[in-house]
Amino acid sequence: MRSRISRGLVFTTLCLIGVSTVYPLVFMAVNSMRTTQAFELNPFGLPTHLSLSSYSALFSTVPFFQSILHSLFVVVPAVILATFASSLAAFVFTKVPIKLGNVLFWTMLMIMFMPGIVVLLPLYVEVARTGLANNFAPAIFIYTAINIPYGTYLLRSNFRAIPDSVVEAARVDGASWFKIFLRVILPIGKPGIITVGILTFLNIWNDLFISLVLLHAPNTEMVTPTLAQLSGKYTSNIPVLMAGLLLGALPTLILYFATARVFIRGMLSGAVR
Amino acid sequence: MASILIEGVSKVYPNGFNAVRELSLDVAEGEFMVMVGPSGCGKTTALRMVAGLEEITSGTLRIGDRVANHLTSKERDVAMVFQNYALYPHMSVAENIAFGLSLRKTPKDEINRKVAEAAEILGLNSLLHQKPGLLSGGQRQRVAMGRAIVRNPAIFLMDEPLSNLDAKLRVQMRTEVRRIQRRIGVATLYVTHDQTEAMTMGDRVAVMRAGVLQQCDHPQVLYSNPANLFVAAFIGSPAMNLFEATLSDDGASLRLGSQSLAISEAVYQHRPGLAAYRGRRLVVGLRAEDLPVLGSDHQTETVLKAYVEAIEALGSELLVHFSLDAARVSGEQLGGGAELEPAAAIDIVGEGIARVEPRAAVRMGEDTLFAVYPERLHFFDPESQIAVS
């Protein structure tokens, strides 16, 4: 009896979480295809007839596709660099016996606990003075650096689950530390690494403040600041904004569905025992 | 192929724990050396130092004619089988076995040939393309062995490789591991906590306790001439019966509880050191099989009367659990390294086990007379715990 009740409870909770996750997407999709008048009369109503006028309005108001390209141009290399660096750091912190490893790790964590907004002003001053603004390469490296601590933190607990004896077996087999990282840790840790990659992608893709500081000229602007322009101080065209947000979220969704399979399958089975 | 020479090697961890103390051991080319001892005795640490996974605090390790203290595992050219197998879960069986070779830039066709050869020896042919996750415990164990033998290493190290298998498979794999090792002919250091495994597999067996090597010899020597109380209690199943006793002033009899066993001149010739214990306390040891029931087959001057508590019938033999009024010295007491206290009172009950013929006349709940052959008795100094010989 108890198990049926608790299972029902779990099921209900999961349903609620599911709805709360999917609803915003549905809300965006539905309202992006309604006219402004229809939305303002009844924001939560169902569409009577669908129109794509918001999308054409979006493309004519802001350089949407260009901003998507800018974003991809920054985000993809930054995600690859940050994820690789985080994996390497997490590997060293968990598997390589180094002096002061823990001190280094906690120092890094302290940096992570500092709110990002705190570095915004110094970052702006520094970027303005050195003339690195509106330039993709510095932006890539700054985003990489900002995202390394969190990724390292997540992957450290992930790599801890990899048995030390597997690493030791590779050492006895004659692998160097870097070979162990490339050929043992990376493949085994793939699910965690991909998770960190997606989270890093989300972090950078959705970032507004740092992107405003680093890339604010129209010919370098990323997607989030571009969409922010749609929301005016006094007036906002909500359906157009919805269309922009939905299209802006599309790369993230594609990335998620493309990699979802990896999360489900555990990579560790059969290593030990 | 090479020999292993461990000379006065110690391991002290940063927290001050001294895991291995002044260990000296040599493993000849092709020899199968088993290190055995209770958990925490330092045997695995010693093995890991040889493997290059643990730094050596002091002492010298030689592999072949090279000092190996500061060589990496790769340079030492060792192969190791881990207790939990430690297979690479993302690689197929063939890739697991080939990993070490591919790191050494061995040509592809040579790798294939060697992997096929190893798979043949281990009976893994049909599993080469499986991932370890799909294999049974015994099969994983074989893959771990395959990974070790494929490289033709200088030495073999095995850390309790059979302890995760079920009892039947373990017995079967014992023979198999020995067969493979003989075929490869590589010096092997094998760690286990199971004394039966040690006795059945080892060319020689090294008994460790609290980081100190107790005795290293052929299994039969360890059994019949244990160097000290610890080895006597550890080696053999059932364990040796150990009781506190006192040798009479004239040395003609041994007082065991309320009984007295005659000690003839022959015993003193066999163990000359015993003379020094006249009138002193010592520990006497009796192997279970050296206590037959007194009868037509066994007629001795010296007899031991004991109360039969229980009988375990094993078919080919009976294990008779008996008790007598002498203080027993237990293996647990020894494991902790505690000093033996003198028996406080005479009414102490000590328990022991005798291994007798299935048709022997014993009955539960009765006093039984056991034949004692005094020259088969073992004697130990109660303070130093060293065997009297």
Residues in chain B: 389
Using DSSP's 3-state secondary structure scheme, residue A21 falls into: helix
Residues in chain A: 273
Query: For B278-291, how does the pLDDT look when each residue is reduced to its tens digit (9 = 90+)?
Result: 999 999 999 999 99
Q: Which has the closest alpha carbon to B158: B69, B11, B50, B9?
A: B50
The span from the CA of B218 to the CA of B376, in Å, is 19
The span from the CA of B196 to the CA of B231, in Å, is 13
In this prediction, residue A44 carries a pLDDT of 80
Taking CB atoms within 8 Å and a gap of at least 24, the contacts of B103-109 are B103/A173, B103/A174, B103/A175, B103/A179, B104/A174, B104/B151
The mean of the pLDDT values for chain B is 90
Q: For residue B5, which phi and psi values (nearest 5 degrees)? A: -130, 115
Residue B109 has pLDDT above 50, yes or no: yes
Residue B335 has pLDDT above 50, yes or no: no
Residue B12 has pLDDT above 80, yes or no: yes
CB B335 within 8 A of CB B38: yes
Residue B358 has pLDDT above 80, yes or no: yes
Residue B69 CB-half CA count within 13 A: 13
Q: How far, CA to CA in Å, does B356 sit from each of A152, B210, B374, B375? A: 65, 34, 18, 19
Q: Nearest C-alpha of chain A: how many angstroms from B196?
A: 22
Using DSSP's 3-state secondary structure scheme, residue A189 falls into: coil
Query: For B230-273, how does the pLDDT look when each residue is reduced to its tens digit (9 = 90+)?
Result: 999 999 888 899 999 999 999 889 999 889 999 988 899 989 99
Query: For B60-108, how does the pLDDT look when each residue is reduced to its tens digit (9 = 90+)?
Result: 999 999 999 999 999 999 999 999 999 999 999 999 999 999 999 999 9
Query: For the complex shown, is ipTM > 0.85?
Result: no
Give one DSSP letter per residue of B85-111, joined into a string.
----TTS-HHHHHHHHHHHTT--HHHH
A174 and B86 within 8 Å at the Cβ level: the answer is no
B86 and A163 within 8 Å at the Cβ level: the answer is yes
pTM of the shown model: 0.83
Backbone region of residue B22 per phi and psi (left: phi > 0; alpha: psi in -120 to 50; beta: other values): left
pLDDT in 10s for each residue of chain A, 273 residues: 568 889 999 999 999 999 998 998 888 888 888 888 788 778 787 777 778 888 888 888 889 999 999 999 999 999 999 999 999 999 999 999 888 888 999 999 888 888 878 888 898 898 889 988 899 999 999 999 999 999 999 999 999 999 999 999 999 999 999 999 999 999 999 888 988 998 899 999 999 889 988 998 889 999 999 988 887 766 678 888 889 999 998 898 888 888 877 655 544 555 665
In this prediction, residue A265 carries a pLDDT of 55
Question: Which two tokens mark B107?
Answer: 């040509």
Q: Nearest C-alpha of chain B: how many angstroms from A163?
A: 8
Q: Nearest by CB to B99, which of A168, A173, A272?
A: A173
Task: Answer yes or no: CATH 1.10.3720.10 is held by domain A63-229.
Answer: yes
CB B188 within 8 A of CB B32: yes
CB B117 within 8 A of CB A191: no
| E strand or H helix that includes residue B188 | strand B187-192
Measure the CA dihedral B54/B55/B59/B63, to 10°.
60
Chain A neighbors of B80, CB-CB under 8 A: 168-169, 172
CB B264 within 8 A of CB B277: no
- The domains of chain B, with CATH numbers, are 4-233 (3.40.50.300), 235-380 (no CATH)
**Amino acid sitting at position A122:** P
B84 and A172 within 8 Å at the Cβ level: the answer is no
Q: For residue B351, which phi and psi values (nearest 5 degrees)? A: -110, 150
